[in-house]
């Protein structure tokens, strides 16, 4: 990366912000994919070398991630990927269930024929991923499916909250969405959500969306 070079140029601050954002996004991806697991200390030197930047942008990016709740800074020890307590995770599931119900209900009321085709296609592709035994692909499609529902809903504030809460619980969801039976049950719930949206049944879509997340909480508890 070379955005931090040529520091005498008038665009220095803009370039630096862009570099920090790139580093922040890269670190967030590592955390959410489990490459930097919960409780792991962020090694500035190692991460800077891996990303091809100096330690400064890594440090600033870590501050940004701390504000978002993905890492914790511990005095005289460093910055660590946040470890959620069980109570934290259960509360996050409850919050997301309520928001998901709203998003699904709104989506049922305003989804276009194209939106409905897109949502149905996600269910089919998740079935394909299950058949291929590709849990990683299923997980990625699962995230994209829920993002798509949120986008279709047009409820921008609810979407923002849902996404923010999802980042905090995502590592735990990697654990929940593991194993063929769990995936099959999860996608059958997706199917019911999409069916309600296709029919324009807002109440049913809202109930299915909320219940899907509460069921996810129960699947988590079963893994403990």
Supply the pLDDT for residue 107: 99
Residue 38: φ, ψ to 5°? -55, 135
Supply the pLDDT for residue 146: 97
Contact predicate 150/163, CB 8 Å: yes
- Token pair of 76 as six digits: 């005289």
Lowest mean pLDDT: which of 104-118, 163-177, 187-201?
163-177
Query: For the chain, which residues make up each domain, given as ranges?
Result: 12-81, 86-223
Q: State the helix-helix crossing angle for 12-32 and 44-51, rounded to 10 degrees.
A: 110
Q: What is the mean pLDDT of residues 174-201?
A: 85
Mean pLDDT estimate for the chain: 88
H/E run at residue 80:
strand 78-81
What is the full DSSP assignment across 106-137?
Answer: HHHHH--HHHHHHHHHHHHHHHHHHHTT-HHH
Domain 86-223 sits in CATH at 1.20.120.530
Supply the pLDDT for residue 2: 42
Condensed to tens digits (0 to 9), the pLDDT of residues 9-36 reads 444 444 566 899 999 999 998 988 888 9
- Name the nearest CA neighbour of 125 among 143, 106, 111: 143
Q: What is the mean pLDDT of residues 71-96?
A: 91
Q: What is the mean pLDDT of residues 92-105?
A: 97
Helices (H), 84-112: 86-110
Q: Is the pLDDT score of 179 beyond 60?
A: no
Contact predicate 142/186, CB 8 Å: yes
Q: Is the pLDDT score of 6 beyond 50?
A: no
What confidence category does residue 125 fall into, taking pLDDT thresholds of 50, 70 and 90?
very high
Query: Which one of 1.10.10.10, 3.30.70.2860, 3.65.10.10, 3.40.50.2000 gives the CATH number of domain 12-81?
Result: 1.10.10.10
Classified as helix, coil or strand, 15 is helix
Q: What is the mean pLDDT of residues 120-144?
A: 94
């Amino acid at each position: 990366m070379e955005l931090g070079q040529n520091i005498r140029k008038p665009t220095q601050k803009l370039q630096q912000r862009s570099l920090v954002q790139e580093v922040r996004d890269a670190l967030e991806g590592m955390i959410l994919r489990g490459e930097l697991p919960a409780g792991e200390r962020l090694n500035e030197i190692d991460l800077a070398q891996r990303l091809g930047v100096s330690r400064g942008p890594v440090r600033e990016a870590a501050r940004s991630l701390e504000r978002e709740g993905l890492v914790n800074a511990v005095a005289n020890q460093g910055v660590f990927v946040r470890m959620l307590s069980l109570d934290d995770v259960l509360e996050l599931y409850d919050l997301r269930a309520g928001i998901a119900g709203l998003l699904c209900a709104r989506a049922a009321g305003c989804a276009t024929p194209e939106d409905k085709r897109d949502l149905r296609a996600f269910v089919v592709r998740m079935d394909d991923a299950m058949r291929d035994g590709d849990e990683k692909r299923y997980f990625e499609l699962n995230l994209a499916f829920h993002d798509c529902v949120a986008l279709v809903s047009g409820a921008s504030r609810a979407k923002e909250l849902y996404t923010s809460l999802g980042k905090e619980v995502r590592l735990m969801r990697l654990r929940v969405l593991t194993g063929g039976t769990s995936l099959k049950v999860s996608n059958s719930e997706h199917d019911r959500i999409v069916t309600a949206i296709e029919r324009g049944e807002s109440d049913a879509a809202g109930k299915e969306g909320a219940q899907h997340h509460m069921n996810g909480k129960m699947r988590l508890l079963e893994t403990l």
